[in-house]
Structure 1
Amino acid sequence: MKVVLATHNPHKVAEFQQIVAQVRPDLEIVGYDGPEPVEDGVTFAENALIKARAAAAHTGLAALADDSGICVDVLGGSPGVFSAYWAGQRKDAAANLELLLDQLRDIADPHRAAHFNSTIALVTPGGAEHVVVGKWPGRLAHQASGGGGFGYDPIFIPEGQSAGQERTVGDFTAEEKQSQSHRARAFAELVPLLATL
């Protein structure tokens, strides 16, 4: 069975395909080739639903859409829904990361708490809508590390690592990230809903 993922981001498609294969190998995640809707929501849930509704209407398939970002406590939860555009409208991941590091340059480790948020919407062609949320707590490093992942991964240090041996998600293997990430956590909440498709 095919389910369309409402994104033009190949990184997200690949990540979802790998996550889904572990729990629902009968589902095939396909990329979305339709027009991008205007994401004018002010919450992750609103934007995820906007994208999933557009993809379901365009393809006639059940659609998944992820709206995600990094939320920094000392910045009141920002960048949040503006994570992809933090440094401007170009969706420049390197510029976004550098701007966030610059904004936190003088902030000490105890105040660098952050979490990745993934909100996934599922919309069926019949109009049923569901939203699930996954959060991955941690803190921000002072400089980027590792060549893996994408976006803010190279500066995010997840909770639960041994002191002195902490790594950013940029240092994780793809398998490590997929088993722990905010998307994996949100998807775990989504599995019972996918069973109804």
Structure 2
Amino acid sequence: MAKLEIIIASTRPGRIGLAVGEWFETRAKEHAGFDDIELVDLAEVNLPFMNEPHHPRLGKYTHLHTRDWSAKVAEADAFVFVMPEYNFGYNAELKNAIDYLHREWQYKPVGLVSYGGVSAGTRAAQMIKQVVTTLKMTPVVESVSIPFVHQLLDEEDGLVANDIMIGSATGMLDELARVADALRPLRGAATE
């Protein structure tokens, strides 16, 4: 068993990402492929735009917020990015959070839950794969793409998932657990 961190990328006031992230967290707990599941909200992490003087690959962090973020990412075995699509791409806050670190991301799988209008955030999901593979992360093929996400909200702004979303989440969680186990020896070797 391993730790899964679900990272909510959107920090925009009135965002729908929190509802999507909470829905996915519930699915992940029901799935039971990970013994530790944590919802990490970039709005709460509140990283300033990159302000470290040294390249992240050196791990010489001068700010407490960076050291805290490093510890948070390092303790995970797998990630899910819950991400909107902004202007055919992913949002700046997610890119900033990724760019703060280097070795902490290595040899960990990542699943993508994207949402938006007609495209369901798939263009953003495709774009971020280039970034995560550069950090030696492994994006799993299985994903959850949610089109017309605003139509799936109930009166309390909770997400009401359909069968396709539920099935996609299960498939993605299955694969994340398998790949996290397969990459475990590489993660151990990278920290030695």
Answer yes or no: same fold by TM over 0.5: no
Greater fraction helix: 2
Per chain length, whose mean CA-contact separation is higher, i.e. which structure has more relative contact order (CA < 8 Å, sep 6+)?
A: 2
**TM-score where L is the length of structure 2:** 0.40
Larger radius of gyration: 1
**TM-score where L is the length of structure 1:** 0.39
Greater fraction strand: 1
